[in-house]
Amino acid sequence: MFRRRTGINFMNNSPLKLFSGSSNIELAKEIAGYLGTELSGIELKRFKDGEISVKLKDNVRAHDVFIIQSTCNPSNDHIMELLLMIDAAVRASASRITAVIPYFGYARQDRKVEPRVPISAKVVSNIIQVTGADRVLTMDLHADQIQGFFDIPVDNLYASPIAIDYLKSLSLENVVVVSPDAGGVDRARFLAKKLNSSLAIIDKRRPEANVVDIMNVIGEVKGKNCILIDDIVDTAGSITKAAFALKERGANDVYCLFSHAVLSDNAVDNLRRAEFKEIIFTNSIPLPDHKKLRNMQILSIAPLFGEAIRRIHNGESVSSLFI
């Protein structure tokens, strides 16, 4: 089923080449800076009918190639760019190709929730493999089982270490970490343990996509500084309602912490209305200036990905980065 490549020599001493699609150039430059190198040349063009044209401008024969591309909005265009870059590297005889996907789009469509619908995350996984990627490096997958959709190595990093360092620098007292739903309890429990704080859970009902009804708050939040933690914030409806629920139950300051700032539709207005003390997230998805608020703190994941790329290239363990 998957693209067979012959004569490939996976040697740790193969020269490293770093390419970036158009989804997150600034992050790619930061990663290159961490590695003490520069992004390799690439030519991305569009024909009049919207078709995408890709050309790798540097030689990649027998090189260890890393292609950085978040598949964020417009996700279909960025996925297509990624696939064409992978194919170009395959046809140019790259030794190994790693798709570096800080934000993995379609991850929320990871199972059949009703009849006659696709498992879109599986479809995206398939086409990345079929095109010729040898490995995937990503962060905070919405569903861990997506790793099993691949038959190639997948390294799923976590932004938690970066977030924990920042939160500790705030020297907050009387803290409770809050999961906005039951599915995020493990993530919230891990953070609570690292911050030596208590844990609370929002009991909510989702009647349809992007619609949330808050049912209850499980745990003590009165008089406490709350850290709401999630992996993806899209329209921000869920996390905003959670913040209101915490305030109604006597919470002091409410902080919002998440990995991927999708922030579509009226998300920024929702976040503004919630009056968070701080809105903390990573740069896995670039945020345009018109969506930035004064209380936003954007944490760079470049050192995390740069170190992972260095270790993968050198054949070293990356397991310590998962903690």
Active-site positions? Answer: 204
**Within a 10 A sphere around the Cβ of 293, how many other Cβ atoms?**
12
Q: Which residues, other chains included, contact 51 with Cβ-Cβ below 8 Å and sequence gap of 6+?
A: none
Strand 154-157: give its sheet, edge to edge.
16-20, 64-68, 96-101, 135-139, 154-157
Q: End-to-end CA distance of the chain, in Å?
A: 34
DSSP calls for 249-267: TT-S-EEEEEEEE---TTH
Strand 211-218: give its sheet, edge to edge.
211-218, 198-208, 175-179, 225-233, 254-261, 278-282, 296-299
User: Tokens 């078709």 appear where?
Assistant: 51
Tokens of 311: 């270790």
Phi and psi for 308 in degrees, rounded to 5? -65, -45
